Structure formats: structure tokens, C-alpha cells
Amino acid sequence: MNVYDFDKTIYKGDSTADFYLFCLSRHRRVWRYVPNAVWGAVRHYVLRNCSKTEFKEQMYTFLRAADYQTDVPAFWDGHVHKIQSWYKAQQRPDDVVISASPRFLLEPVCARLGIRFLIASEVDGKTGVYTGKNCHGSEKARRFHAVFPNGKIERFYSDSQSDRPLALLARQGFLVRRGKIIPWQ
């Protein structure tokens, strides 16, 4: 099986950021939650006094003013074209997508693409609250083993060195940089 990170790997950009901007353009009431996202970013990236999960939960408060059940399908109607063509050319039925993005956001596009196996962050689509750990870094490897205890990764693709734990499990690892695929070093 081949395993893929989603954002900036098989998707051109960050799907969560794109969805946030989509909701800002679709619902005026989402704007009242912008200060939460800004404050969360300052706390995480500048003051360094909150975790990435806490920052994301603050950003995800905008979901209270959106309707993820209708917004997510509408979002993918306009963004599915951002799936990389190289991925579509080599897609296999046993592919696994593993991502820190929320399951509620990625599940519909994975279904459209015929991707049966998705491991992602569990976030409540109405409140933005995590119901488990952020699926990032070594947590990705732990979750992969939990879902596929005897799984063997043939090829792993990611844009980020933080995914090294999964790359080390693969027979071959690849970094994706601006659409170019290079062997993992």
C-alpha cells in the first residue's frame, strides 16, 4: 500500500485554510470568530504558550457560525481540482491518506476520489473541538499501526519532515515540494 499526506502533498495548498477562507466568503457571521484564530496563532507561534491543537481549536470556533454538512460538499465542488495530477495518475485501490486535517473535511473528497482509507484528526464539525489527538508527526505512525497492525507501506509521500516517523516505516519515502517529488533523505 502507498500512504499519502494530504495538504501540500496530493492537495495543492492547505485544505483547512482554504475551507476557512471559503466559509469567510460564504457566511458573514464567521467573521466574528476571526479574532479567535488570530489570538490562537499569536499564542502558538509568537508567545509559544499553547499547543498546536489548542491553536487549531481556537481557529475552528468559526464552525459554530457555519454549517459543515452543507459547506464541506460545496467547498469540494470548487476545490477538488486542486488534487495533484501526479496522484491521480498513480492512484491505487489500497491507498491510505493520513492527515492532520479534520476527518469531516477530508472524508467527502476521499469518497469522491475513491480513496477508501482515511486516517485524520477527529474534530467535531459543529464545535471545532478535538475528540482525539491531532493526527500529526509520530501520532500519524501510531494511528497507522492501530488501523493496519500488519500494514506494510510500499511508498510514503509528504511535504513535511515532521512526517519522518511514517517515512521510516516505508520501503520508499518521498518529499513533495511545489508539486515535485524527490526521494526522502
State the CB neighbour count (10 A cutoff) for residue 144.
23
Write out the chain's pLDDT in tens, 185 residues. Answer: 999 999 999 999 999 999 999 999 999 999 999 999 999 999 999 999 999 999 999 999 999 999 999 999 999 999 999 999 999 999 999 999 999 999 999 999 999 999 999 999 999 999 999 999 999 999 999 999 999 999 999 999 999 999 999 999 999 999 999 889 999 98
State the CB neighbour count (10 A cutoff) for residue 175.
20
Question: Are the C-beta atoms of 84 and 10 separated by less than 8 Å?
Answer: yes
91 with 159, same domain? yes
Entry pTM: 0.95
Integer Cα distance of 185 and 96 in angstroms: 22
Domain of 108, CATH number, reads: 3.40.50.1000
Q: 34: domain range?
A: 18-73
Which of 50, 73, 96 corresponds to the end of one domain? 73
Integer Cα distance of 57 and 51 in angstroms: 10
